[in-house]
Amino acid sequence: MDNNSLEIIYGINPIISSLNEGNLYKIIVVKDTKNPKIWDIIKKAKKKKIKVLFKEKSFFRQYRDYSHQGIIGFIQLGNFINYEEFLNIISKTKEDIVFFDSITDTGNMGAMIRTSFLLGIKYILLPLKNTAPINETVLKTSTGAALKVNFITVKKEYNSFISDLKAIGYNIISLEASGNIFIEELIKKDITLSPFLLVIGGEDRGVHRKILKSSDYILKLNMKNSQDINSYNASVAFGISLYLLKNLKQ
């Protein structure tokens, strides 16, 4: 993730707040710092698997106009909540949720967030790596929806994360070009799908194999001219699938 796609915050207290809120992506600390508050931040950041980099004092000259106190942070926009809080909420509400697995294009990310919000999704899961940041571009593309949903960064192994959801009654539905059932066929079945986790993968990577292996259903979409173009755009495929699952199967 490029630093230019993130917002910068300066100083100890703002970084502590961001650390607690869960939207801190990375911190840069002056080498050989003796400040105990900074070392406490470093300890907590590493525990949460947040990147920690150390730089010479000369690096911080570019931020001389800010009260950085020898530490700066890079944050993502949007409302990020921690994984445990998220699990506690959905174990009670049993609402449908989505996971954007390796969606690195900010245009697709924004469009998918917008679709999710309009179809009643409140919680969007993102991987720890290989994901577009929730930045100004995503905010604009989502027409503001990125500020109206909740994001959760999945820092656990995929097997463990999927097991957590299955334990509280979730169906795992993955969307993949090589899926084993057309979405129309699944909707016609006399089964209850909700609550479900809908997983969409990046256009170059697809859904992670560990998630596919644990999926209850792997969906594919019908295409009329697949001999010429062999797949939908990721955000389009996601929109079609979520709309059908939310409106025709409920």
Q: Residue 158: which domain range?
A: 79-247
Residues 63 and 99 in one domain: no
pLDDT reported for residue 3:
53
* Residue whose tokens read 């921690």: 82
Give the per-residue pLDDT at 168.
96
Long-range contact pairs involving 59-62 (C-beta distance under 8 Å, separation at least 24): 59/28, 59/30, 60/30
* Rounded-to-integer distance, Cα 250 and Cα 244, Å: 9
> CA nearest 184: which of 243, 235, 121?
243
Return the percent helix, strand and coil in the chain, to nearest 5. 40, 25, 35
Co-location of 194 and 154 in the same domain: yes
Q: 171 with 236, same domain? A: yes
Q: Is residue 114 domain-shared with residue 56, that is, in the same domain?
A: no
| b/e sequence 60-77, b meaning 16+ C-beta within 10 Å | beeeeeeebbbbbbbbbb
Tokens of 17: 């707040």
The answer to whether residues 225 and 137 belong to one domain is yes
Q: What is the pTM of this model?
A: 0.76
DSSP structure class, residue 163: H
Identify the sign of the CA torsion 155, 156, 159, 163.
negative
Residue 249 pLDDT:
55
Blockwise average pLDDT, block size 10, the chain, 250 residues: 67 88 86 94 89 94 91 86 93 96 92 96 92 84 90 88 95 90 86 91 86 93 73 90 82
118 and 212 assigned to the same domain: yes
* DSSP-derived secondary structure letter, 239: H
Same structural domain, 16 and 116: no
Domain boundary residue among 33, 56, 75? 75
CATH number at residue 106: 3.40.1280.10
How many domains, the chain?
Answer: 2
Query: For position 61, which CATH number holds?
Result: 3.30.1330.30
Residues 71 and 83 in one domain: no
> Residue 4's pLDDT is what?
47
Burial of 166: CB neighbours in 10 Å, binned 0-12, 13-18, 19+: middle
Same domain, residue pair 131 and 12: no
Clarify whether residues 222 and 153 are in a common domain: yes
pLDDT value of position 250: 54
> Positive or negative, the Cα torsion across 233, 171, 81, 102?
negative
Residues 137 and 122 in one domain: yes
Whole-angstrom distance, CA of residue 11 vs CA of residue 221: 49
Q: Which of 58, 75, 92 is the last residue of a domain?
A: 75
Do 243 and 169 fall into the same domain? yes
